[in-house]
Amino acid sequence: DVSTSPLTGENILRDEKIIRLKTLDESQVRGCVKCRLSETRKNTVFGEGDVDATIFFIGEGPGENEDLQGRPFVGRAGDMLNKWIAATGLRRDEVYIANMVKCRALGSRLPMPDEVAMCTPYLEEQIRIIQPQVIVTLGLAALKYMMNDAKLAMGRSRGQWRDWRGIKLMPTFHPAYILRN
Ligand code: URA
Ligand code: SF4
C-alpha cells in the first residue's frame, strides 16, 4: 500500500529515491487499473524531474500529448510551464513535475473525485520520496485536492503560502488557463 510508506520523515539518499520512484512507476503505476481512466489511456504519465528537486509542481492530469508521450506537460500548457520554470532561474530537469492523476481523462474534463481518490496515493508517495521544500499547485483542482478544501477559490488563494504536512505550498493558476485568458 503506497499510502503507508515507511519513508515519512526520513532523509532519503539520491540513489534510494531513484530506485523507489522507478519501482513505484514500474510495479504499480504502469499496470494500474484502479480506476476507469485505465480503459482509455495509451500511456500512464508518472512524472519526471530531479529526485532531489526543491520545487514539486502538481498539475491536474495528462492531456492528449502527455498520454501519447507518457510525459507530463509536453503540449502547449507545457510550453507555458517551461517559461515559468525558466523565469525562476531553474532548468526543467532541476524541478519535479507530476499530476494528480496519472492517466488521461478524455475530452479535457477534470478527473472525477473517485479517480483522484484512487490515484493520489501515488502522488503522495512521490512527494514523500522527493521531499521537496516547495509544492506549487497548478490550477484550482490540484489546490483543492491538496488542501482538502472544495471551497477554495483561485482569486483569493493565488500567491499565498500554505502548509501541506510541513511543506510550503504555493497555489498558482494552471498554465492552460493562462493560455485561454
Ligand atoms: N495539464 C496538466 O494538468 N497536466 C499535464 O501533464 C498536461 C496538461
Ligand atoms: Fe490507476 Fe491513476 Fe491511472 Fe486511475 S488514473 S488507472 S488510479 S494510475
Half-sphere exposure of 150 (CA within 13 A, CB side): 1
- More confident position, 178 or 116: 116
State residue 8's pLDDT score. Answer: 54
**Residues 43, 27: Cα–Cα separation, whole Å:** 14
pLDDT digits (tens, 9 = 90+) for 28-51: 999 999 999 999 999 999 999 999
pLDDT digits (tens, 9 = 90+) for 46-88: 999 999 999 999 999 999 999 999 999 999 999 999 999 999 9
Shortest-distance atom of ligand 1 to CA 60: 3
Kindly report the protein residue whose alpha carbon is nearest to atom 3 of ligand 2.
Answer: 103
Q: Mark out the alpha helices in 8-63 (DSSP H runs).
A: 14-24
At residue 119's C-alpha, the angle toward residues 38 and 70, to 5°, is 55
Residue 90 has pLDDT above 80, yes or no: yes
Question: pLDDT-based confidence at 9, cuts 50/70/90?
Answer: low
Cell numbers describing residue 1: 500500500
pLDDT digits (tens, 9 = 90+) for 93-144: 999 999 999 999 999 899 999 999 999 999 999 999 999 999 999 999 999 9
**Residues 86, 60: Cα–Cα separation, whole Å:** 21
Asked if 69 contacts 104 with a C-beta cutoff of 8 angstroms, the reply is no
Q: Ligand 2 test: best mutation among 32, 112, 123, most atoms within 8 Å of CB?
A: 32
Q: Rounded to whole angstroms, what are the CA distances from 139 to 20, 22, 98, 153? A: 28, 27, 13, 10
Provide the whole-model pTM: 0.93
**Residues facing residue 137 across a β-bridge:** 58, 171
Give residue 60 CA to ligand 1 midpoint distance, Å: 6
Strand 48-49 versus strand 96-99 pairing type: antiparallel
